[in-house]
Structure 1
Amino acid sequence: MKKIFQKGFTLIELLIVIGILGILIAAVLLTLNPAEGQRKARDIQRLKDVGTLQTIMDQLVAENKLTADLSVNSSSATTTDCTATGWLGIDVCSYTSKLPIDPVNKSTVIAGEVGSAACTGTLSAGGAYYYVVYEAASNTYEIDVRQESASNCTKLTNDNGDSNRFIEVGTTAALDLMTDI
């Protein structure tokens, strides 16, 4: 009589392997924290956009194109139109083909912002968008942008601005044109 060997896995062996894989996948997801990775990616885009806005404002100031005070934000902007109908309210098409808008304005993502004035790193509800303030009398400007990632706490507190809730850039020494919102 010939013995027949059946090759394959039993149901219990398969369930054990699936269970181990599930535990490993859960551990990797907890370690990688994809939500924090997305927040960091949006913050990187915001910093690039602030650089673009700063270049535009530097050119506007250098060419004396701004004659009145300006205080705008991109909170409801969904278009990158560079004409005077864009969120900045100034025709900047000679400097850029499109205005940057906050990454959360492009989708339905609900953004948080980095914590309190003490920059505790906790996230709270709040919008994330760009603010631009220009003061005609002193010919100075300030651009403020909120950050989502808790890892940006040091950037918020070390930007020489007067707020620990925004990254601030501009031409004023104290970056104090905009009051803390």
Structure 2
Amino acid sequence: MTKTNKGFTLIELLVVLAIVAILSVVVILTLNPAELLKQARDSNRVSDLSTLKSAISLYLADYSTPFVGTSTLCYISLSTQSATTTKCGVFTNAAVTNTTTTAANLRKVDGTGWIPVNFAAISSGAPIGNLPVDPVNTASLYYAYGATSTLTFEIDAFMESTKYANYMLNDGGNTDYAYEVGTTPGLAI
């Protein structure tokens, strides 16, 4: 009776491992997981700003004496503990200063959150349960909100991915480095 060896040789195993390694590198370089994560966060930013714009517009349409904020303040989505930025979105008026709230109040919709609009005053109830904040929410990636006494407002976000760069360019605002939405994108307060 002859003995036959069943199995793979070391050379065959090394060739298969090399092929798998090469394919893995090609897939990772093609997909670029870091860019995909940036795109996911940017998609969330676009959705958040759309939600905020709709909620503020509903508040303006429903409430008889609306307060949308002070025109000399820029409201940012950073808490007082993390607010280290000196800029307020794209609001470039020198008279505008940043304002923040505490971490405990940051997401509240009763006018004490980072946006000073009392969504709870809407007759049909608050359209959002919590104020959204930027997915990263750091000194370089945050949301900014500004309003005027004529009840116009703007909400800004900074995009990370190359895919969403055109959103900043084509939003109708006055700057190419932030995504601007509101009743007046490009609001110079």
Same-fold status (TM-score > 0.5): yes
Offset of residue 68 of structure 1? 4.8
Equivalent residue, structure 2, for 1:113: none
Offset of residue 67 of structure 1? 6.4
Cα separation, partners in 2 of 1:18 and 1:178, compared to 1, 3 Å: farther
Q: Do residues 135 (structure 1) and 169 (structure 2) align?
A: no
Return 5+ residue gaps in structure 1 as ranges.
Answer: 111-125
Q: Which structure 2 residues correspond to residues 63-142 of structure 1 after superposition, within 5 A? A: 63=63, 64-66=65-67, 68-70=69-71, 71-76=74-79, 79-93=106-120, 94-95=125-126, 96-105=128-137, 127-136=140-149, 138-142=150-154
Q: Do residues 157 (structure 1) and 189 (structure 2) align?
A: no
Give the SS at the match of 2:168. Answer: helix
Cα separation, partners in 2 of 1:104 and 1:67, compared to 1, 3 Å: closer
Q: Deviations over 1:119-157 (max 9, x none)?
A: xxxxxxx62111110101x22111111111111222111
Give the SS at the match of 1:80. Answer: coil
Distance between the aligned counterparts of 2:37 and 2:116, measured in 1? 30
TM-score by length of structure 1 reads: 0.77
Contact 1:49 1:100 in 2 (8 A): yes
Distance between the aligned counterparts of 1:153 and 1:41, measured in 2? 13
Distance between the aligned counterparts of 2:169 and 2:68, measured in 1? 32
| Counterpart residue identity of residue 75, structure 1 | L
Q: Deviations over 1:66-86 (max 9, x none)?
A: 165252011336853223332
Ranges of 4+ aligned residues in structure 1 off by more than 6 Å: none
Q: Do residues 176 (structure 1) and 186 (structure 2) align?
A: yes
Return 5+ residue gaps in structure 2 as ranges.
Answer: 80-102
Q: Which structure 2 residues correspond to residues 7-86 of structure 1 after superposition, within 5 A? A: 7-62=6-61, 63=63, 64-66=65-67, 68-70=69-71, 71-76=74-79, 79-86=106-113
Offset of residue 59 of structure 1? 2.5
Q: Deviations over 1:67-108 (max 9, x none)?
A: 652520113368532233322234323322111111113xxx
Give the SS at the match of 1:151. Answer: coil
Distance between the aligned counterparts of 2:151 and 2:118, measured in 1? 18
Distance between the aligned counterparts of 2:141 and 2:39, measured in 1? 13
Q: Which gives a bigger RCO, structure 1 or 2 (Cα 8 Å, sep 6+)?
A: 2
Equivalent residue, structure 2, for 1:122: none
Contact 2:60 2:66 in 1 (8 A): yes
Give the SS at the match of 2:180. Answer: strand
Contact 1:157 1:164 in 2 (8 A): yes
Offset of residue 178 of structure 1? 4.4
Instruction: State the aligned residue count.
Output: 156
Cα separation, partners in 2 of 1:3 and 1:73, compared to 1, 3 Å: same
Distance between the aligned counterparts of 2:166 and 2:68, measured in 1? 35
Over the matched positions of the two proteins, sequence identity in percent amounts to 37
Give the SS at the match of 2:119. Answer: coil
